[in-house]
Chain A
Amino acid sequence: DAMVIQNPRYQVTQFGKPVTLSCSQTLNHNVMYWYQQKSSQAPKLLFHYYDKDFNNEADTPDNFQSRRPNTSFCFLDIRSPGLGDAAMYLCATSRDPIQTQYFGPGTRLLVL
């Protein structure tokens, strides 16, 4: 059974049109992460939540926001997608910040 679920698997949006990606988990983990992975590159951490505490990476653009309404769900909002935001977006969870991270299947975002 899937433990970290991401919806949708593929998302097409228009330049400048806000888009929301969803992540849910059945592991009851305290930490949820969002990564951006561009073609042929390593994943890049955007931000993470440790319980309700939000931790933004210093170089994450303001265009990217996140919400975690409860333990199970976490959302990635891209306020005004640009062509350079086309990428795979990976959600991951861990029990605490030093434990192993488990990833979802990812959402491939295409910006037209």
Chain B
Amino acid sequence: AQKITQTQPGMFVQEKEAVTLDCTYDTSDPSYGLFWYKQPSSGEMIFLIYQGSYDQQNATEGRYSLNFQKARKSANLVISASQLGDSAMYFCAMRDYGGSQGNLIFGKGTKLSVKP
């Protein structure tokens, strides 16, 4: 069965520092996608970054990069130069492409707090 694990319920980071949010996954399907979403206290889920299982290079989007280690089944999110506005919940999610219409499976999330 598919599973996403985020082992860090909460993280603190100093403003302007980099931070890594951990995510490990489990699937038997060779074709899948990994996503990171940010959820501020307002509630909206904001798409940040995507990594496909066959992508050769790690995904990057501005200050966000995804450290994809396929053999370890990990897809950690790296946020560089943290800003106060980065304080939010962060969810890792996976979708496999062989199963039931590719539903997203979410982890339990990591609450990131950026300190000034």
Contacts and interface: CB of A to CB of B under 8 A. Distances in A.
Nearest to A88: B43
A105 B43 contact: yes
Looking at chain A, what size class is its interface with the partner chain? 20 to 34
Interface in B86-116: 91, 95, 97, 101-104, 106-109
A110 interface: no
B101 A50 contact: yes
A103 B109 contact: no
Interface string A43-57: 101001010000101
B41 to A, nearest CB: 11
Looking at chain B, what size class is its interface with the partner chain? 20 to 34
Given A42-B91, A42-B107, A98 B43 contact: no
Given A42-B91, A98-B97, A90 B102 contact: no
B25 interface: no
A89 B75 CA distance: 27
B35 A106 contact: no
A90 B37 CA distance: 13
B42 interface: yes
B44 interface: yes
B35 A105 contact: no
B43 A108 contact: yes
A25 B75 CA distance: 30
Given A42-B108, A105-B43, 6 more contacts: A43-B91, A45-B104, A50-B101, A98-B33, A103-B37, A103-B44
13 contacts: A42-B91, A43-B91, A45-B103, A48-B101, A88-B43, A92-B45, A97-B102, A98-B33, A100-B50, A101-B35, A101-B104, A103-B46, A103-B47
Q: 5 nearest interchain CB pairs?
A: A42-B106, A103-B45, A106-B43, A105-B44, A97-B102
